[in-house]
Amino acid sequence: MLAQDKLIDAETLFEKGEHLLGVLPYEYKIMKGTIKFRLKKRDECMELFKNAYIDVSNSNLSESDKLYLKYYMYSVLIIYKKFLHADLDGVEEVTNSSVSLKEVSSCWKRRFPCRDHPDWDKYGV
């Protein structure tokens, strides 16, 4: 539904399914945070991304995948910091130059595209 830009439907579906999952996996938090961002629900997006950022840091993902997902979230959170002076406690800066796109799993590039990465045309999906 997110890919089809049916944001309200996607948000509703995510919220209905939350009780089934118990502890939310970082992928879920990132996807839901993306929906909240696109719906301009800043506080909810920030909370989800900040929590997912910590989860990704503590995950057993490869370092390339971790950096990529952190960059994806950071690129949204920095907008809030820059224009709304939001507190990004616990979120370190991640630049696109620190992400080796060639080494990132294609599943993450498909789910969370970072088309602004300078190597996207070469190594993106």
For residue range 21-43, what is the model confidence (pLDDT) as tens digits? Answer: 777 889 999 999 998 998 989 88
Q: What is the mean pLDDT of residues 85-99?
A: 82
User: Higher model confidence: residue 119 or residue 16?
Assistant: 119
CB-CB contact of 38 with 7 (8 Å): yes
User: What pTM value is reported for the model?
Assistant: 0.86
- The first and second tokens of residue 16, run together, are 């209905």
Give the Cα separation of 78 and 88 in Å (integer): 8
CB-CB contact of 77 with 42 (8 Å): no
Query: Where in the chain does DSSP place strands (E)?
Result: none
- In whole angstroms, how far apart are CA 122 and each of 95, 101, 115? 18, 9, 11
